[in-house]
């Protein structure tokens, strides 16, 4: 097409683009006008959807869509009901229901399969909540996302003048949105660019803070003493076996412990929720005398919570293998931190490293521990049971530590079973990677945090 004499380059193209945009705008205006006229002629209200047979559900995501994490019932309860302790309600709603893959949920601790459709209580909310139709005892068929609910449309007689004015207003709004679309796109691209440019600085700040956390753990001897004192007092109150205290949080105002939901703490501990109990520092100081030491207890700081307070876990409650999955670097930091905590609290504990013992991926054994060559497993060792078991299935004093920097090969898995499995040598395994028979499984991310699902905690680990 020839341009007019004296016209600026590209002027004709812009003119054609503007003329095309004008045609689209006129068509949109006519469509809106027609819609208004049809709407104004409607005489009967209509229900947009019948929601009597709709239920709320959650579709279990694939680990690749959840940052490498395997979703658990407490995760679903926390994300949709705001309370991980309500997971039994979800289990009761889905017990023995046939899932799309032909299997069914039979135990509260069973691993959830990607694609399972879990029914939820009616007060469930959140991005992962969907609506589905009830299929009479089988898995419900997913429907629209929750919040898109049914809508009743009422016929309101409107005059032609009102319809035209509404169409004009909508057309003007549409034109404004179209004009600002490029600006929003450019702004979004700028925000993404700034985030990418700023990520190295944020990563360095996180790393510096985690290294400072490691120095703080090394210098703080009072918190470990108080954590062990809490465990000793539980042992004195509950008898020789001791109360099953899985974790202890120590801060300036007192202590918090995590117990099984079926257990209760003695007076003067106060219940926080189904698994947590608290004791004020004032009540703690009122205790008379030094309690009998619990020699089996092995409290180690797994990291700090969102308030920066150290949280201890008792390795004697581990009963087998700890598997730290997800980001490999953070997993190694978590295992190295446990080793350093054991070195400070139980110096001289034997440690054996399976697999390649020299590569950069292998956590360095702290000087306070006694590294020994890999032990020869028993000729016949019962295998570790598959799946993740409930926390503290049995108590086992820490006799030695077995470290694996990567997921085990078949031979290493046999060694791990002989050393750490039921009926084995009674050692405790620390594995950077997936182990099917792990008793505890933590999920590490690239920002230096680990999720401990069975405790409902997200902790920052030292670097």
pLDDT single digits (tens) 153-163: 333 444 666 76
Most confident range (mean pLDDT) of 100-114, 331-345, 365-379 is 331-345
Q: Is the pLDDT reported for residue 33 higher than 70? A: no
> How far, CA to CA in Å, does 345 sit from each of 293, 323, 366?
14, 22, 12
In this prediction, residue 285 has a pLDDT band, given cuts at 50, 70 and 90, of low
Q: pLDDT by residue (tens digit) across 397-437?
A: 899 999 999 999 988 888 888 888 877 788 999 999 999 87
Q: pLDDT by residue (tens digit) across 231-257?
A: 888 877 665 455 688 899 988 888 999
One DSSP character per residue, 111-150 reads PPPTT-EEE--TT--STTEEEEE--TTSPPEEEEETT---
pTM of this prediction? 0.56
Q: Is the pLDDT reported for residue 393 higher than 60? A: no
Q: pLDDT by residue (tens digit) across 83-105?
A: 999 999 999 999 988 888 888 99
Kind plus residue range of the DSSP H or E element containing 256? strand 254-258
**Predicted pLDDT of residue 9:** 45
Burial of 167: CB neighbours in 10 Å, binned 0-12, 13-18, 19+ = buried
- Residue 330 corresponds to which tokens in the numbers above? 């953070």
In this prediction, residue 450 has a pLDDT band, given cuts at 50, 70 and 90, of very high
For residues 134-141, average pLDDT: 63
Where along the chain do its domains lie?
54-148, 220-297, 316-463
Contacts of 296 (CB under 8 A, 6+ apart): 242, 316, 395, 397
For residues 166-170, average pLDDT: 76
CB 300, CB 290: distance < 8 Å: no
Strands 129-133 and 254-258, sheet pairing: unpaired
**Predicted pLDDT of residue 44:** 41
Q: How far apart are CA 339 and CA 333, in angstroms?
A: 10
φ, ψ of residue 151 in degrees (nearest 5): -130, 130
> How far, CA to CA in Å, does 356 sit from each of 249, 363, 399, 459?
36, 11, 23, 29
More confident residue, 256 or 382: 256
């Amino acid at each position: 097409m020839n341009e007019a004499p004296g016209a600026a380059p590209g002027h004709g193209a812009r003119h054609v683009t503007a003329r095309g945009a004008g045609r689209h705008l006129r068509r949109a205006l006519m469509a809106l006008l027609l819609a208004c006229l049809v709407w104004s002629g409607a005489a009967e209200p209509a229900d947009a959807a019948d929601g009597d047979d709709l239920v709320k559900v959650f579709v279990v995501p694939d680990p690749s869509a959840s940052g490498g994490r395997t979703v658990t019932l407490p995760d679903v309860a926390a994300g949709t009901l705001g309370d991980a302790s309500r997971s039994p309600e979800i289990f009761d709603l889905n017990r023995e229901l046939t899932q799309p893959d032909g299997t069914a949920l039979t135990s509260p601790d069973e691993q959830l399969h990607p694609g399972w459709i879990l029914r939820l209580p009616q007060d469930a909310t959140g991005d992962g909540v969907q609506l589905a139709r009830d299929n009479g005892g089988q898995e419900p068929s997913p429907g629209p996302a929750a919040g898109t609910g049914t809508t009743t449309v009422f016929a309101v007689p409107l005059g032609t003048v009102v319809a035209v004015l509404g169409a004009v207003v909508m057309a003007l709004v549409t034109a404004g949105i179209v004009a600002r679309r490029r600006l929003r796109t450019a702004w979004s691209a700028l925000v993404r660019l700034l985030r990418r440019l700023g990520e190295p600085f944020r990563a360095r700040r996180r790393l510096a803070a985690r290294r400072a956390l490691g120095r703080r753990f090394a210098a703080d001897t009072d918190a470990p003493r108080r954590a062990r004192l809490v465990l000793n007092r539980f042992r004195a109150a509950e008898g020789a076996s001791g109360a099953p205290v899985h974790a202890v949080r120590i801060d300036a105002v007192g202590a918090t412990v995590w117990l099984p939901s079926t257990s209760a703490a003695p007076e003067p501990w106060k219940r926080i929720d189904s698994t947590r109990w608290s004791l004020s520092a004032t009540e703690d100081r009122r205790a008379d005398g030094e309690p009998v030491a619990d020699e089996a207890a092995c409290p180690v700081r797994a990291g700090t919570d969102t308030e920066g307070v150290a949280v201890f876990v008792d390795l004697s409650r581990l009963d087998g293998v700890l598997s730290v999955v997800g980001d490999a670097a953070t997993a190694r930091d978590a295992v190295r931190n446990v080793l350093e905590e054991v070195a400070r609290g139980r110096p001289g504990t034997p440690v054996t490293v399976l697999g390649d013992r020299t590569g950069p991926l292998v956590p360095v054994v702290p000087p306070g521990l006694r590294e020994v060559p890999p032990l020869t497993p028993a000729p016949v060792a019962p295998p570790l049971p598959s799946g993740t078991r409930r926390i503290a299935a049995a108590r086992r004093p820490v006799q030695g530590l077995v470290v694996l920097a990567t997921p085990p090969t078949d031979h290493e898995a046999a060694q791990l079973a002989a050393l750490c499995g039921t009926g084995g040598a009674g050692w405790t395994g620390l594995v950077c990677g997936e182990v099917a028979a792990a008793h505890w499984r933590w999920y590490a991310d690239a920002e230096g945090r680990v999720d401990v699902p069975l405790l409902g905690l997200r902790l920052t680990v030292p670097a």
